[in-house]
Structure 1
Amino acid sequence: MPVASDNAGAGAAWWDDEAGMQRFVADLVAGELAAMRLTGPALPPRPWPADLHIGRDLGADSLELMGVASALADALQMHESGIEDYLLVRLTLGEWTQIAQTSLSRFSHRLTFRTSGSTGIPKSCVHELDALLQEVREIAPLLQGTRRILSAVPSHHIYGFLFTMLLPAALGLAAGDVIDLRSGSAASLGQQLRQGDLVIGHPEFWRAAVRAVRVFPDGVTGATSTAPCPDEISEALQQAGLARLLQVYGSSETAGIGWRFDHEAPYQLLSFWRRAGVDGAGLLRDGDDAVRQCQDRLTWLDERRFVPTGRIDQAVQVGGMNVFPARVRRELLLHPDVLDASVRLMRPAEGNRLKAFVVPRDAAADPAELHAKLDAWAGARLTAPERPRAFSFGAALPVDAKGKPADWLIRG
């Protein structure tokens, strides 16, 4: 396939980095197959070689191949270049990388990112490349002096894309200066860190990192997004010597909205956003008349500073993913042995996963047997972040003195 140039503009050819482009494609393939396979064969550890066959080596059948190819074509807007059909003919990772590069060389103005789909239907969010580059150009000066980027996030999600695919060039880094942390443990992080490193993570990664790394080398900066980082984690990282932790507020729908280095400070609105509406959650981007609704309620200190004060859509964060307890409850209620159920995020002392309180249809049901049944039921119907890690049972759901739904303690 000949490679033709398009009119994306100077500095926009992020796809020319073959290693980075192959990482993007591999991340998307792995993410799509994991979403299709609630159970099934485990994928081989990454990084994957260029000659990895997506069908044979990953065990993808014809339907899975079609689904993954469609997802990559959608992500890169391949219908604009007209070469998406090659994905079902040339099936190695290296060939898909070359097809992606060729497609982007012909059209790269828009990209599609998907939400996690924790409600059951992933949402496609289309972004102009120029808008993403605008965000990176504003973030880059905050991170001057970065010598390497170490990433614990997938590059096909919007946060990972911005910070591992676009940001390196804005910081003047070479392809080899981006290192994938996901194949190692948190304990190995401390051995890899050097002065000038920027570590891209999410709250659960940082929770594990602060336990494993007792003292950070001088001059190491962190970045976190996908969910508010709990204050106790930010404080622990500071005590362990992390120079700074950049907290980015945004979503797949909006990309980045604001940032802060101090967890006790409000977020600073990026310069191209402005407040809109009276509910605190509406925003307008320069050059766009469409009001974007944030997924959190925002409390504004002035026109440029804000603090998120809770999800509007009732999502919670598990392992860096948006999870909806209401959806998990609906799946549990479909089990014939369940009369009623409540699902919540665990208390900090209990863990960082979901828990469920179940009212059995048969009051005499054996709790251990029902627990095993529900665990298997959840494993077949829910993604790993959605599956409750603790089940409690009782004759009625917990309520407070006013009869409103209440939390419960996990016992034994």
Structure 2
Amino acid sequence: MNLRGPATRLRDEAAAARILWAAGMVPRDPRRAVAGVRAVARSGPFGGLPAYCAAVHGDTPAVIDDRGALTFDDFAARTHRLADALRSEFPDHRRQPSIGILCRNHADALVTLCAAAAVGARVVLLGADFGARQVAVVAEREHLDALVYDEEFRSATAGFGGRRWCAWYDDERPADALDRLVDRGDPTPPPRPPRPASLVILTSGTSGIPKGAPRAEPRTLLLTAGLLDRIPLRGGTRVLLSAPVFHGWGLLVAVLTLMLGGTLVLRRRFDAVRALDDLERLRCGAFIAVPTMLRRIIDLGESIRTAELTALRIVASGGARLEPGLVREVSNCFGPVLHNLYGSTEAAYISIATPSDLAAAPNCAGRPTLGTALQIVDAAGRALPAEAEGRILVRTPAQIDAYTDGTRRSGADGFLDTGDRGYLDDVGRLHVSGRSDSMVVSGGENVFPEEVELALLDHPQIIDAAVTPVDDADFGQRLRAYVVGVGEGSPDEAAIRAHLAGRLPRSRMPRDVVFVDTLPRGSSGKVLRRTLDDLKEYHA
């Protein structure tokens, strides 16, 4: 068992400090550095972020969104105004307010997060694919006192009984506009909060109500350094952040980009044509996405090949599985710039595949990052050798011990069961095979739907696929495949079965093949399996 003792932790933190210095995370101007550190010491990592960035980066552009641009000075002033107003809204310092954020990608989503943290609030990030039922359950379970939301979610939040402020609206300014709070606030940095802020990130909830993963403000350099060691974000880079900021992947990149003095480009809704235009026109050096976004970009075809993308040196995917065919297509279009991050809400990120990793093994999730211990074990918890598939257990610098409902995740030895299964190859790269709990027993045979999905996606005329179990009177369960083809060239059911027959045993052949126009995916790119049966099918 690979347990990290004090000496190992000290060595890792020293390595992290060297990585952060080389990446330009540490300001070279001592006066700016001192001012920035004081801001973080006073208000915490999130609450002090705007003041830190203003001290270090000043009037350079911080965020470009659908409303325009904010400099770092503008970002700090707006955040401090909102923090001052929130202090007057919650004057009882004996009780920590709990503030939910239900917003898409725009500057005020980050302003709200930082302002709430600056007053010592408990911040809960809700997903943009939440409906009224999920909002209601989360609001009750997490004891939300207030909710900051975008106007499009007004109906989903209508049943919420606490205070509500609308952060984004398209037309007339509503009575509950967040702007009204900002307008009455003081732009000077707020005083030290009565208690440290806390953050709750919700699981993706692909099959039900998401759980809350609480996170204390980070007290380690490893979380930041581990990512920068593999994904070379650097100061001054314009980053098109299309992955949602309310999930861990997008939020971490947003914070790192701002700390480095880069510029975040945020759009409330992802549109492949506009994303390609942003990459070209704004000369973005990095594109941060989920796999479905990469697929839509690739589908633009000739437009990519004629675009001027010489500034682009990082394409990074996270949030959902990146299948090998898409890895090859992205690499062919953009060159050796693709990175693949594997992680979970509970563990933060676990491993990152670099372009060289993906060139050698397109289906890999890379190697564990600095400070992360990883084990592959069998059902009895015994460690397995290289190439042997088993359960993936991890210990990361930012994992949770329990959900907000009290359900524990980490074991007594500190390792967390990711719920995934996979193996390490002979050079230490992680390969994720699928969910540990997704095994289907059909006619006495053990079948994993992910194996069938990968075989389907290996067909050149299938662009998306999902496989799910359904009840069967004879076999207990059988597999149903949902397939998205490429239009007129889509294979029919006979062609699909012939394709699978050369790759899978008969026991893994899906009994049903359903052709659909698109698969329902959440904001993180994962298939929403609870809605698969509601899809409208067609016959190829």
- TM-score, structure 1 normalization: 0.60
Please say if 1:269 is aligned against 2:358: no
Which residue identity does 1:231 align to in structure 2? P
Whether the 8 Å CA contact 1:55–1:91 is kept in 2: the answer is no
In structure 2, the residue matched to 1:35 is 131
Runs of 4+ in 1 over 6 A off after TM superposition: 25-30, 52-57, 95-99, 101-104, 340-343, 382-385
CA deviation vs aligned residue, 1:99-145 (integer Å, no higher than 9, x gap): 9x979955455321101222322111122331686322222243244
Of residues 28-37 and 282-291 in structure 1, the stretch that sits farther from structure 2 once superposed is: 28-37
In structure 1, the residue matched to 2:485 is 349
**Do the aligned partners of residues 181 and 60 (structure 1) sit closer, same or farther apart at CA in structure 2, a change above 3 Å counting?**
closer
Whether the 8 Å CA contact 1:24–1:156 is kept in 2: the answer is no
Match of 1:272, SS state, is: coil
Which residue identity does 1:283 align to in structure 2? V
Whether the 8 Å CA contact 1:152–1:201 is kept in 2: the answer is yes
Query: 2: distance between equivalents of 1:186 and 1:411?
Result: 28
Please say if 1:149 is aligned against 2:184: no
The residue correspondences of 1:5-404 to structure 2 (distance < 5 A) are 13-14=48-49, 17=75, 18=78, 22-24=108-110, 31=127, 34-36=130-132, 58-59=154-155, 63-64=159-160, 66=162, 91-94=176-179, 106-108=194-196, 110-130=198-218, 134-141=222-229, 142-145=231-234, 147-164=237-254, 166-173=255-262, 177-183=263-269, 185-194=271-280, 195-212=283-300, 213-215=303-305, 217-220=309-312, 221-262=314-355, 263=358, 264-265=360-361, 266=364, 267-276=366-375, 278=383, 279-285=390-396, 289-301=413-425, 304-314=428-438, 325=468, 344-347=480-483, 349=485, 386-388=531-533, 390=535
Whether the 8 Å CA contact 1:222–1:242 is kept in 2: the answer is no
Which residue identity does 1:310 align to in structure 2? G
Query: 2: distance between equivalents of 1:137 and 1:254?
Result: 16
Query: 2: distance between equivalents of 1:32 and 1:184?
Result: 13
**Do the aligned partners of residues 198 and 61 (structure 1) sit closer, same or farther apart at CA in structure 2, a change above 3 Å counting?**
closer
Whether the 8 Å CA contact 2:341–2:349 is kept in 1: the answer is yes
Which residue identity does 1:272 align to in structure 2? G
Query: 2: distance between equivalents of 1:14 and 1:159?
Result: 18
Pairwise CA distance, 1:178 = 0.7
Runs of 5+ consecutive residues of structure 2 not aligned to the other structure: 1-38, 52-74, 80-105, 114-123, 135-147, 166-174, 376-380, 384-389, 400-412, 439-448, 454-465, 488-526
CA deviation vs aligned residue, 1:304-351 (integer Å, no higher than 9, x gap): 53211222133979xxxxx9946xx69xxxxxxxxx996745246379
Whether the 8 Å CA contact 2:218–2:398 is kept in 1: the answer is no
Query: 2: distance between equivalents of 1:290 and 1:235?
Result: 37
CA deviation vs aligned residue, 1:273-300 (integer Å, no higher than 9, x gap): 1124524411123698521111321202
Of residues 55-64 and 303-312 in structure 1, the stretch that sits farther from structure 2 once superposed is: 55-64
Match of 1:234, SS state, is: helix
Identical pairs, percent: 17
CA deviation vs aligned residue, 1:228-252 (integer Å, no higher than 9, x gap): 2122222112222255111100011
Query: 2: distance between equivalents of 1:211 and 1:248?
Result: 22
Query: 2: distance between equivalents of 1:287 and 1:53?
Result: 27
CA deviation vs aligned residue, 1:179-212 (integer Å, no higher than 9, x gap): 1134352112222214452111100000001122
Query: 1: distance between equivalents of 2:161 and 2:150?
Result: 8
In structure 2, the residue matched to 1:44 is none
Match of 2:261, SS state, is: coil
Which residue identity does 2:244 align to in structure 1? P
Pairwise CA distance, 1:384 = 9.4
Query: 1: distance between equivalents of 2:427 and 2:107?
Result: 38
In structure 2, the residue matched to 1:49 is none
Whether the 8 Å CA contact 1:6–1:105 is kept in 2: the answer is no
Query: 1: distance between equivalents of 2:337 and 2:296?
Result: 17
In structure 1, the residue matched to 2:30 is none
Query: 2: distance between equivalents of 1:232 and 1:128?
Result: 38
Query: 2: distance between equivalents of 1:230 and 1:344?
Result: 20
Which residue identity does 1:308 align to in structure 2? V
Query: 1: distance between equivalents of 2:276 and 2:207?
Result: 36
**Do the aligned partners of residues 197 and 390 (structure 1) sit closer, same or farther apart at CA in structure 2, a change above 3 Å counting?**
same
Query: 2: distance between equivalents of 1:143 and 1:10?
Result: 22
Query: 1: distance between equivalents of 2:294 and 2:424?
Result: 27
Query: 2: distance between equivalents of 1:287 and 1:121?
Result: 23
Which residue identity does 1:411 align to in structure 2? H
Runs of 5+ consecutive residues of structure 1 not aligned to the other structure: 39-51, 70-89, 318-322, 331-339, 352-381, 393-409
**Do the aligned partners of residues 14 and 271 (structure 1) sit closer, same or farther apart at CA in structure 2, a change above 3 Å counting?**
same
Match of 1:163, SS state, is: helix
CA RMSD of superposed structures (Å): 4.6
In structure 1, the residue matched to 2:463 is none
Whether the 8 Å CA contact 2:273–2:297 is kept in 1: the answer is yes
Bigger radius of gyration among the two: 2
